[in-house]
């Protein structure tokens, strides 16, 4: 067993007496999974850190070692690199470690480093690879032509992860998916959200009128920004769409066809995003997410959430108190929910967001590593 820890930042940390490798898939401009990886790194600061590759726009404050895939053209295409990822994780380094911790949303949980009889392997899972196991949730794997490859990758994914000693899942949704896909149990540890930052906006930001609906995220099909535009039109309310991605031209064409104002905020800064949350009547989030950090950020600004009654939102939104969740893709069905959401208590939303602070996440990670490491 490892040394125990009362909390991150204390003198005694989990696994302080052990050599540790902390691995993550690819490291891009900081998103949800990258935030988890960096927060985990604070719990085990002595760990060596590894990724398949770093994206060109990624910045980190200390060294992260890359796999051999980083020196190939495949780093430019996740789809083409996918079949080689398990091999890359099995040939990551010749160094040996007492404990290996993975942050996995593709194949990082299959990493195998060190002595099989001595090294403990623990994996924090954002989701089993959606394009491999859940193509109905991710169009990247939905093409029927890919079905034979999915079957091969599913078998490899399950076989190559038998050495994992303990799993943690970012939500109950993912906990169930781990059980269905891999036949394994997992402890639920929700991701960290910068609740204090979003709550502590300047007074002039907090005092602004709430005058529009808001959509935030990457502009890709499964996020359903097209449905958000239709909801805003049905509710006859302005909409602000914040983010960026390949669907931009399509979404702008849709926006030109509705008779309510639709504004696009391209890759807003964190400070600007906070302003947008505080100025919103409600956050629209009709997407099936594994967890969903954005709805928690919105609630930290006292902003209610209107979205799908599926996935992680069932764990982060208290319907009737901090938002409303519907099992519908009919824009008209959301109109009454938007109107009711505008009357909800911002204090209730903020109190709910407090469940997901980085301090809570790190304390739970420390306890998991102490128990399993």
Per-residue model confidence as pLDDT tens for the chain (373 residues): 333 333 444 445 899 999 999 999 988 766 778 889 999 999 999 999 999 998 877 667 678 999 999 999 988 888 788 888 989 999 999 899 999 999 999 999 999 988 878 899 999 999 998 878 887 776 655 566 667 778 888 898 999 999 999 999 999 999 999 999 999 999 999 999 999 999 999 999 999 999 999 999 999 998 999 999 999 999 999 999 999 999 999 999 999 999 999 999 999 999 999 999 999 999 999 999 999 999 999 999 999 999 999 999 999 999 999 999 999 999 999 999 999 999 999 999 999 999 999 999 999 999 999 998 7
> Could you tell me the strand order of the sheet in which 48-51 lies?
65-66, 48-51, 20-24, 99-104, 120-125, 166-169, 187-188
Q: Are 353 and 146 in contact (CB under 8 A)?
A: no
pLDDT value at position 3?
31
Bridge partners of 243?
Answer: 217, 266
The b-or-e profile of 218-242 (16+ CB within 10 A means b, else e) is ebbbbbbbbbbbbbbbbbebebbbb
pLDDT value at position 41?
94
pLDDT value at position 130?
83
Domain with CATH 3.40.50.2000 in the chain: 20-192+357-372, 195-356
Domain 195-356 falls in which CATH fold?
Rossmann fold (3.40.50)
2.102.10.10, 3.40.50.2300, 3.40.50.2000, 3.30.420.40: which CATH number matches 20-192+357-372? Answer: 3.40.50.2000
Compute the Cα dihedral for 312, 313, 319, 325 and give only its sign. negative
pLDDT value at position 140?
58
């Amino acid at each position: 067993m490892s040394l125990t820890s009362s909390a991150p930042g204390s003198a005694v940390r989990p696994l302080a007496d052990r050599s540790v490798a902390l691995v993550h898939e690819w490291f891009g401009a900081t998103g949800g999974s990258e935030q988890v990886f960096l927060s985990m790194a604070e719990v085990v600061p002595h760990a060596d850190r590894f990724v398949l590759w770093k994206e060109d726009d990624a910045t980190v404050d200390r060294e992260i070692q890359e796999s051999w895939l980083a020196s190939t053209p495949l780093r430019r295409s996740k789809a083409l690199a996918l079949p080689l990822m398990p091999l890359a994780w099995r040939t990551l380094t010749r160094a040996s470690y007492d404990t290996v911790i993975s942050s996995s949303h593709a194949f990082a949980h299959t990493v195998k480093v060190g002595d099989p009889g001595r090294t403990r392997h623990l994996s924090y899972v954002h989701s089993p690879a959606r394009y491999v196991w859940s193509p109905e949730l991710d169009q990247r794997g939905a093409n029927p032509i890919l079905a034979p490859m999915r079957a091969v990758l599913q078998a490899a994914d399950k076989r190559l992860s038998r050495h994992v000693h303990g799993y943690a899942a970012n939500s109950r949704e993912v906990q169930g998916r781990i059980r269905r896909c891999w036949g394994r149990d997992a402890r639920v540890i929700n991701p960290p959200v910068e609740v204090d930052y979003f709550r502590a906006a300047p007074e002039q930001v907090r005092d602004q009128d709430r005058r529009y609906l808001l959509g935030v995220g990457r502009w890709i099909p499964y996020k359903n920004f097209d449905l958000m535009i239709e909801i805003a039109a049905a509710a006859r309310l302005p909409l602000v769409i914040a983010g960026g991605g390949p669907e931009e031209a399509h979404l702008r064409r849709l926006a030109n066809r509705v008779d309510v104002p639709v504004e696009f905020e391209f890759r807003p800064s964190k400070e600007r995003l906070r302003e947008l949350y505080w100025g919103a009547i409600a956050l629209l989030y009709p997407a099936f997410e594994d967890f969903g950090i954005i709805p928690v950020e919105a609630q930290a600004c006292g902003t209610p959430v209107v979205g799908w009654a599926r996935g992680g939102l069932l764990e982060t939104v208290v319907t009737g108190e901090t938002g409303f969740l519907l099992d519908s893709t009919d824009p008209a069905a959301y109109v009454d929910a938007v109107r009711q959401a505008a009357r909800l208590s911002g204090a209730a939303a903020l109190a709910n967001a407090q469940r997901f602070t980085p301090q809570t996440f790190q304390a739970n990670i420390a306890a998991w590593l102490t128990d399993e490491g």
